[in-house]
Structure 1
Amino acid sequence: MASSSDHKATVIDGKAVAHTIRSEIADEVRQLSQKYGKVPGLAVVIVGHRKDSQSYVSMKRKACAEVGIKSFDIGLPEQVSEAELISKVHELNANPDVHGILVQLPLPKHLNEEKVLGEISLEKDVDGFHPLNIGKLAMKGREPLFLPCTPKGCLELLSRSGISIKGKKAVVVGRSNIVGLPVSLLLLKEDATVTIVHSRTKEPEKIIREADMVLPCSRTSEPSGIKEFFIQGSWIKSGAAVIDVGTNAVDDRTKKSGYRLVGDVDFKEASKVAGWITPVPGGVGPMTVAMLLKNTLDGAKRVIEQ
């Protein structure tokens, strides 16, 4: 058992890993361009003027430009009808230069997110949220065309850090469609023994204490879980891997913005016992965008290299 005084967890630098992946993607995009005269194309559809959505889209556009992926930006008014939005998605489905389509969530209340996402062509579903992609992920012996970006990024961080998953006890905190559920299915595919802890779980601390790897993503699923599942350092098993997906804004007057971002785990205390840990920010976040670019590249290769 490592003593808290001399032990320091290996901090997994998501920014550095994502940078490596982006370089690999840029090389492959260059090769596609030289060999076939074509590059991958990613279309991002944004409805309305939410500042956080605008900021995400601008970050994705910049990331595309860095690796040579062509960006198609479609901005639609807040009051757009569902039929118009679906028609725009169908138009992008038919565009041979677009290999990935992403509809920025959340959508305004009058639009049915599930219905809209279901209209994206399976071959262009780079977010990995199409029911058929998630369904295949849940079935043994089936492979989805695309994996959801954040869960895929979590597994990539474990893999590139040399952390073995097979036969390990993994605890996922949260059961959202976006992270918790798909990351649990991915870990199962890699032969982990998976337990999902959620807002109705009794004695979460006891379950987490036994985990070889902990992946907290309650922030994305259950707002009530922010305080309930703030994971103390003492909950972490010695030598465990902690991949913290949670992102919470905490008041901080020393910051220009008035807040700072923290994860779902007490990073300082957990670092004294964990074997590996991701920081927030700078851990899983950069990986999500890198995986989006990777999915777009893979979608393009399927079409271009045929």
Structure 2
Amino acid sequence: MTESHNAALLDGTAVAARIVEKVTADAAALTAGGVTPCLATVLVGADPASVTYVRMKQNRSAKAGIGSWHVELPANITTATLVAALTELSQDPDVHGILLQHPVPAHIDERAAFEAIAPEKDVDGVTMHSFAAMAFGEPGFVSATPGGILRLLDEYGVELAGKHAVVVGRSPILGKPVGMMLLARDATVTYCHSRTADLASYTRQADILVAAVGRPAFITGEAIKPGAVVIDAGYNPGNIGDVDFASAVTKAGLITPVPGGVGPMTIAVLLEQTVAAATRQQGRR
């Protein structure tokens, strides 16, 4: 009979605070030099969760000394109108980073909207250019949540080379890029999703399990390899992740809480990349 245990927590809140502390100092140095980093947020419609997320990002930006420019557009706008707004922001020299809050209303071509963001201002890492840079290991901005996940793993000294990483989820801004980033770090990566047959047979093989499927408590403890590192990148109504924390915490070796795990890291990377974008754009002037 094995003795029960609880996994150690990957504390994203604490790690993110250290990142933001440096971001704040870097932003202050830029501002002292005459350039205040500016993040433009674009919100289409008034989805309550999206409104909350945008407001939170604006507040975090302000605390870090990063200026905010918020654009609110009605839910019934056309793709062309949204593309035009993003193009205008891309061409504005006072805007250094652009965040389009997603998802957008179903009638809008989200990919066309993302592609209207200039690569040098794509601080959320949502364009095809950014994805290709991540996949090929070229310079560019990473998708904010995958970037935050990798930083968290590094902070806790999780060895990636030679480990089997299983990613459950295939979205173009989370599941797919985090797999690419893990592959670039010499992990062996398996992609799964909600329609994978016998999903648990794959997740039980994972040394590192990333849950990014968008279904509450979708992965339970019995589907987790003992001692695995479990990254819950899901965020569902009621502060529930994609992993059933109560059962998973007794099987995993390391696990992210929801909230307080991946979420703070996403915002920290977003702010860090905004300041980096401002620095690069200042250097090109």
Question: For the superposition of Structure 1 and Structure 2, which TM-score range results when normalised by the shorter chain?
Answer: over 0.9
The alignment covers a number of residue pairs equal to: 284
Tell me, what secondary structure is at the counterpart of 1:281? coil
In the alignment, is the contact (CA less than 8 A) between 2:40 and 2:95 conserved in 1? yes
Work out whether 1:183 is the aligned partner of 2:171.
Answer: no
Q: Deviations over 1:77-108 (max 9, x none)?
A: 23333333222222211211111111222223
Looking at structure 1, the residues matched to 66 and 94 of structure 2 have their Cα atoms a distance apart, in angstroms, of: 11
Looking at structure 2, the residues matched to 174 and 79 of structure 1 have their Cα atoms a distance apart, in angstroms, of: 29
Tell me, what secondary structure is at the counterpart of 2:239? strand
One-letter amino acid of the structure 2 residue matched with residue 231 of structure 1? I
Q: Per the alignment, do residues 172 and 80 of structure 1 end up closer, same or farther by CA in structure 2, a change over 3 Å counting?
A: same
Looking at structure 2, the residues matched to 172 and 245 of structure 1 have their Cα atoms a distance apart, in angstroms, of: 10
One-letter amino acid of the structure 1 residue matched with residue 117 of structure 2? I
Q: CA RMSD in A?
A: 1.8
1:23 CA displacement: 0.8
Work out whether 1:196 is the aligned partner of 2:191.
Answer: yes
**The one of 129, 141, 149 aligned to 1:146:** 141
Tell me, what secondary structure is at the counterpart of 1:188? helix
Looking at structure 1, the residues matched to 252 and 34 of structure 2 have their Cα atoms a distance apart, in angstroms, of: 48
Looking at structure 1, the residues matched to 236 and 87 of structure 2 have their Cα atoms a distance apart, in angstroms, of: 36
What are the ranges of 5 or more consecutive residues in structure 1 without an aligned counterpart? Answer: 220-225, 250-259
1:13 CA displacement: 1.3
Q: Per the alignment, do residues 28 and 48 of structure 1 end up closer, same or farther by CA in structure 2, a change over 3 Å counting?
A: same
Work out whether 1:94 is the aligned partner of 2:82.
Answer: no
What are the ranges of 5 or more consecutive residues in structure 2 without an aligned counterpart? Answer: none
One-letter amino acid of the structure 1 residue matched with residue 63 of structure 2? E
Work out whether 1:296 is the aligned partner of 2:274.
Answer: yes
Looking at structure 2, the residues matched to 299 and 264 of structure 1 have their Cα atoms a distance apart, in angstroms, of: 32
In the alignment, is the contact (CA less than 8 A) between 1:149 and 1:289 conserved in 2? yes
In the alignment, which residue of structure 1 is the partner of 2:15?
Answer: 17
Return the index of the structure with the highest Cα Rg.
1
Looking at structure 2, the residues matched to 202 and 84 of structure 1 have their Cα atoms a distance apart, in angstroms, of: 41
* Moved >6 Å (runs of 4+): none
Work out whether 1:234 is the aligned partner of 2:222.
Answer: yes
Looking at structure 2, the residues matched to 170 and 33 of structure 1 have their Cα atoms a distance apart, in angstroms, of: 41
In the alignment, which residue of structure 2 is the partner of 1:222?
Answer: none
In the alignment, which residue of structure 2 is the partner of 1:132?
Answer: 129
Tell me, what secondary structure is at the counterpart of 1:75? strand
TM-score normalised by L of structure 1: 0.87
**The one of 244, 253, 257 aligned to 2:232:** 244
In the alignment, which residue of structure 2 is the partner of 1:279?
Answer: 257
1:144 CA displacement: 4.5
Q: Per the alignment, do residues 305 and 277 of structure 1 end up closer, same or farther by CA in structure 2, a change over 3 Å counting?
A: same
Q: Per the alignment, do residues 264 and 105 of structure 1 end up closer, same or farther by CA in structure 2, a change over 3 Å counting?
A: closer
